[in-house]
Structure 1
């Protein structure tokens, strides 16, 4: 697995997640905030930290984790499931993930925007069905 392949998968997954109308943003991390603060000094492009990509211990296939903040307009779990399917479809359609390889996409909602945005620490995760 090359670092270029991982960056391409991260970028495609981030783009697919952000294209969903219920996704407000990807979870910002300290690294993202520091990069934004230093952007005027260094214009390096790096993939969003809210999308993690790795190979499972078996060495075959991919595991993609997406952490996002969503709007409260609809059920959070439904949104997480739709984002998971959008990311899966985007990665297979772009050819970054071989159809013969396994692909696991996990979407974790880390924040909610809007009225009645839930209790602090409330989150939803959409993982593949068992």
Structure 2
């Protein structure tokens, strides 16, 4: 499905996930890394916008979105609690963004924690 301009929810989801205490970074999947490398080869370094690492968003119907977040967390916090907070924070941020655009939609979020990091 096509999206209206401004409906790219990935930057909104990324910002929301990174605001949650305990989130160290977002983790791109191999496909994101390969796409970024191919884009740099085709368009030259820095010429093309890079995908938002660690976030995949797909419009699943006229009134629904599915967002996947892959993140790394700092050690010392309960992984389940932080993942739940990321899910809630991303869902609220994306829903609010879509409402502002005049296209309210149901937003489902799946969070995958790829690793925990010991703070330096």
- Alignment TM class, shorter chain as reference: 0.7 to 0.9
> Is the aligned partner of 1:53 residue 2:57?
yes
Normalised by the length of structure 1, the TM-score is: 0.69
- Matched residues, number: 111
Q: 2-side partners of 1:53 and 1:34: how far apart?
A: 16
Normalised by the length of structure 2, the TM-score is: 0.74
Spell out structure 1 runs of 4+ moving beyond 6 A: none
Cα 1:62–1:111 change in 2 (3 A) is same
Deviations 1:3-46 (A, max 9, x none): 7555x20010001111112110000344448848x6x8324322
How far the C-alpha of 1:72 sits from its partner, in A, is 1.4
Could you tell me which runs of 5 or more consecutive residues in structure 2 were left unpaired when the two chains were aligned: none
Two-structure CA RMSD over aligned residues (Å): 2.8
Aligned counterparts, 1:1-130, within 5 A: 1-2=2-3, 4-5=5-6, 8-30=8-30, 31-32=32-33, 35=36, 41-56=45-60, 60-95=63-98, 98-99=103-104, 101-114=105-118
CA contact (8 A) 2:22 2:73 kept: yes
How far the C-alpha of 1:74 sits from its partner, in A, is 1.1
